[in-house]
């Protein structure tokens, strides 16, 4: 694997490998001295054209835990703000001997485009409404950790599917690994063609959650929406918000997930965000592990790392 641009087309073997490495990397995170030299001598640049807390910080920490030289650049503090193009920015970074460039961009396809202009490995950290592959990988890791296996799991993904790169990457990854995906959301936030991806789409959140092993809320992406897709956030929560009562329709041992950041009281009621079924904090930790595994592979190292 030279780049990680999405999970569409990534094989079961490749996902299995990344998850195995991520579980190995977790051992490093649990040590008092979180340091390895697996990426010693490598340079990793994160280039963020959109805001981020989890993804950006976890890539930076993952690089540093593995001994790489890591640097961050945000569009707002860079020459992009003076009119430099994305391609010229990437070429500039490339000429500083970057081994891996991690990019988040509001345009779907921006990471793919950059592969034509740089020798560095490109990691898509979220492109427009297209894909967010490392988010889905950390979600798969969390499901496997909590449920033992991904095969046969029923995963209900609820909310703003239309604008969600997280939903798309999860659909691809979960199908590849043998899980079933059902979706729920308002008709205005559900792409018309989505069932062509092999999922069942409901406009009734309760039908989707019934019997689920995993319930995943999606953030309402107000920044990508044209006005008028639902009347008010209060009404959205009433009809599509995940709350304690609705969680009772899932299996008794079901887990609750959310990629973050959560709009408390909108996608999820505030009490269940911190409730017993929530694994949102574990998702954050596993995000560091998955990004360590991905960076290790793309920087040219061997898979199946062993952390002593």
Are 226 and 197 within 8 A, CB to CB?
no
Nearer to ligand CP, 133 or 241 (CB): 133
The C-alpha atoms of residue 89 and residue 79 are separated, in whole angstroms, by 8
Question: Closest approach of Cβ 259 to ligand CP, in Å?
Answer: 4
Nearer to ligand CP, 53 or 85 (CB): 53
DSSP 244-269: HHHHTTS-TT-EEE--S---BTTTB-
Question: Closest approach of Cβ 165 to ligand CP, in Å?
Answer: 9
Nearer to ligand CP, 56 or 147 (CB): 56
The C-alpha atoms of residue 148 and residue 155 are separated, in whole angstroms, by 14
CA 289 to chain centre: 13
Question: Closest approach of Cβ 299 to ligand CP, in Å?
Answer: 21
Are 146 and 193 within 8 A, CB to CB?
no
Are 173 and 10 within 8 A, CB to CB?
yes
The DSSP element (H or E) to which 200 belongs, if any, is: strand 200-202
Question: Closest approach of Cβ 44 to ligand CP, in Å?
Answer: 16
Question: Closest approach of Cβ 132 to ligand CP, in Å?
Answer: 6
- The count of other CB atoms within 10 Å of the CB of residue 9 is 9
Nearer to ligand CP, 38 or 171 (CB): 171
CA 245, 246, 248, 253 torsion-angle sign: negative
Question: Closest approach of Cβ 37 to ligand CP, in Å?
Answer: 27
Q: Which residues bind ligand CP (CB under 6 A)?
A: 52-56, 126, 135, 259-261
Question: Closest approach of Cβ 284 to ligand CP, in Å?
Answer: 9
Which parts of 120-232 fold into alpha helices (H)? Answer: 133-147, 165-176, 205-209
Question: Closest approach of Cβ 109 to ligand CP, in Å?
Answer: 18
Nearer to ligand CP, 26 or 56 (CB): 56
Nearer to ligand CP, 147 or 291 (CB): 291
Nearer to ligand CP, 55 or 296 (CB): 55
Examine residue 209 and say whether the peptide bond preceding it is cis (omega within 30 degrees of 0).
Answer: no
12 contacts: CB under 8 Å, gap ≥ 6: 176, 177
Q: Is 163 helix (H, G, I), strand (E, B) or coil?
A: coil
Q: Are strands 180-184 and 154-158 parallel, antiparallel or unpaired?
A: parallel
Nearer to ligand CP, 38 or 257 (CB): 257
């Amino acid at each position: 694997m030279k780049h990680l641009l999405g999970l569409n087309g990534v094989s079961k073997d490749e996902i299995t490998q990344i998850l195995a490495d991520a579980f190995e990397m977790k051992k490093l995170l649990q040590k008092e001295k979180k340091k390895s030299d697996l990426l010693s001598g490598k340079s990793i640049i994160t280039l963020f054209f959109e805001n981020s807390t989890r993804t950006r910080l976890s890539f930076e920490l993952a690089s540093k835990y593995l001994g790489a030289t890591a640097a961050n650049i945000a569009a707002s503090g860079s020459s992009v703000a003076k009119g430099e193009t994305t391609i010229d920015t990437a070429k500039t970074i490339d000429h500083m001997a970057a081994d891996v460039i991690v990019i988040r961009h509001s345009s779907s396809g921006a990471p793919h485009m950059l592969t034509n202009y740089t020798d560095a490995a490109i990691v898509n950290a979220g492109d427009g409404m297209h894909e967010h592959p490392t988010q889905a990988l950390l979600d798969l890791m969390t499901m496997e950790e909590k449920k033992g296996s991904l095969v046969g799991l029923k995963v209900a993904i609820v909310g703003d599917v239309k604008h969600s790169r997280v939903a798309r990457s999860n659909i691809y990854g979960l199908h590849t690994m043998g899980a079933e995906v059902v979706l729920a959301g308002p008709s205005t936030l559900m792409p018309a063609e989505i069932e062509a991806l092999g999922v069942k789409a409901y406009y009734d959140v309760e039908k989707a959650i019934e019997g689920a092993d995993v319930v995943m809320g999606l953030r309402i992406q107000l920044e990508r929406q044209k006005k008028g897709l639902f009347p008010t956030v209060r009404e959205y929560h009433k009809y599509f918000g995940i709350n304690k009562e609705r969680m009772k329709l899932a299996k008794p041992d079901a887990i609750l997930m959310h990629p973050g950041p959560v709009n408390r009281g909108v996608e999820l009621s505030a009490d269940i965000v911190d409730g017993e079924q929530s694994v949102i904090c574990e998702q954050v930790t596993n995000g560091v592990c998955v990004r360590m595994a991905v960076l290790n592979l793309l920087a040219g190292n061997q898979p199946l790392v062993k952390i002593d």
